[in-house]
Amino acid sequence: MKIIIAGCGKVGTTIVEQLSAEGHEIALIDRSIDVINNMANSYDVMGVVGNAASISIQKEAGVETADILIAVTDSDEINMLCCLVAKKAGNCRTIARVRNPIYHSEISFIKEELGLSMAINPEQAAAREISRILRSPNAINIESFARGRIELTEFIIPDGNVLDGMSLIDVRKKVQSDLIICAVERGDEVFIPNGSFVLKSQDIVNFVASPKDSKNFFKAIDMDSQKIENVMIIGGGTISYYLTRILTMLGMKVKVIDKDKERCEKMAELDATVICGDATNQELLVEEGVKDVDAFISLTGFDEANIFFSLTARTLNSKAKLVTKSNHISFVSMIGKLNLGTMIYPKYMTAESIVRYVRAMQNGVGSNVETLYKIIKNKVEALEFIIKEDSPVRDMPLKDMPIKNGILVAAISRRDGIIYPNGSTEMKVGDRVVLVTTETGITDIKDILDI
What are the tens digits of pLDDT across the range 90-103? 889 999 999 887 88
CA dihedral over 440, 372, 201, 337, signed as positive or negative: positive
Q: Quick one: pLDDT at residue 366? A: 45
- Is 30 a residue whose pLDDT tops 90? yes
Q: Do 420 and 413 meet the contact criterion of CB atoms below 8 Å apart? A: no
Task: Name the least confident of 129-138, 253-262, 287-296, 355-364.
Answer: 355-364
- Given a cut of 70, is residue 323 above it in pLDDT? yes
Q: What is the mean pLDDT of the chain?
A: 89
pLDDT at 329: 56
CA distance 408 to 383: 10
Angstrom distance (rounded) from CA 298 to CA 254: 13
Confidence of residue 50 (pLDDT cuts 50, 70, 90): very high
364 has pLDDT over 50: no
CB-based contacts of 127: which residues, under 8 Å, 6+ apart?
239, 242, 243, 245, 246
Task: Tell me the residue length of the chain.
Answer: 451
- Whose CA is closest to 325, among 294, 349, 292, 289? 349
Short-list 369, 359, 349, CA closest to 3: 359
Looking at the DSSP bridge assignments, the partners of residue 321 are 295
Instruction: Report the percent of the chain where pLDDT is more than 90.
Output: 56
HSE of 323 in the Cβ direction (CA atoms, 13 Å)? 33
- In the chain, the percentage of residues whose pLDDT exceeds 70 is 96
Residue 33: partners with Cβ closer than 8 Å, 6 or more residues away: 49
Domain architecture of the chain: domains with CATH: 2-120 (3.40.50.720), 230-344 (3.40.50.720), 372-448 (3.30.70.1450)
- Rounded alpha-carbon distances, angstroms, from residue 9 to 41, 83, 259, 266: 16, 18, 28, 28
At residue 332, the pLDDT reads 55
Minimum mean pLDDT among 154-158, 280-284, 338-342, 421-425: which range?
A: 338-342
Helix 346-362, helix 10-20: angle, nearest 10: 40
Contact 387, 429 (CB under 8 A): yes
Rounded to 5°, angle at Cα 310 from 307 and 313 = 150
Q: Which of 371, 352, 349 is nearest to 360 (CA)?
A: 371
pTM (predicted TM-score): 0.76
Cα–Cα dist 301/262, whole Å: 15
β-strand partners of 204? 156, 185
Q: Is 361 exposed, middle or buried (0-12, 13-18, 19+ CB in 10 A)?
A: middle
